[in-house]
Amino acid sequence: MSKAIALPLIAALLVAGCAAPSPQGAPGDKNAAHAVEETPDGFLISISYSRYQFIPESTAVMAACKQALTAAAFDVAAQRGRAIESINEQRIRLSMGRNGFTGVTSCEGSAPATWKK
C-alpha cells in the first residue's frame, strides 16, 4: 500500500473513532454527568452535557442540557429524601460550545437548588 493511500486512510479511521461522545454515566442520560456542591439552604447542581450532531442544532442541546440539569437536581433531592423548590430558569447558567472537527456540541450548566421548607 502506498503512503499516498495509507496516510488518508489512517487519518479517516482516527477521526471516525473520535466522532461519537462517550457515555458519562449520569442517571437516565448517557450524554450527561452531574456534580453536587452543598450549600446552607440546598445544593448547587452542575452538569456537563454533550452529544454528536451531524447538523449543528445548539438550541436542541441547550434544551436537553436544561432538562438534564433540572432532572438531576430532582433526582438528587429524591435520593436524599427531601423536596426542592422549582428551579428558576433565569438562575440556570449555561455555556455552550461546539467542536467542528468531531461534530460534538457541548453544554456546561449549573443552578442552585433550594430545599422546601
The gap from C-alpha 31 to its chain's centroid, in whole angstroms, comes to 6
pLDDT at 7: 47
Grid cell at residue 27: 442517571
For the chain, the domain total comes to 1
Q: Is residue 6 part of a domain?
A: no
Q: Is residue 8 part of a domain?
A: no
pLDDT at 28: 61
Q: How many CB atoms lie within 10 A of CB 105?
A: 24
Q: Is residue 84 part of a domain?
A: yes
Angle, CA 70 vertex, CA 69 and CA 76 arms, to 5° = 90
Q: Rounded to two decimals, what is the model's pTM?
A: 0.72
CA distance 96 to 100: 13
pLDDT along the chain (117 residues), means of 10: 52 43 49 93 95 89 94 95 94 94 94 95
Query: How far is residue 95 from each of residues 15, 16, 19, 31, measured CA to CA in Å?
Result: 25, 26, 21, 16
pLDDT at 16: 41
Query: How far is residue 22 from each of residues 10, 16, 110, measured CA to CA in Å?
Result: 21, 13, 21
Q: Is residue 59 part of a domain?
A: yes
Q: Is residue 83 part of a domain?
A: yes
- Domain of 72, in residue numbers: 20-114
Q: Is residue 32 part of a domain?
A: yes
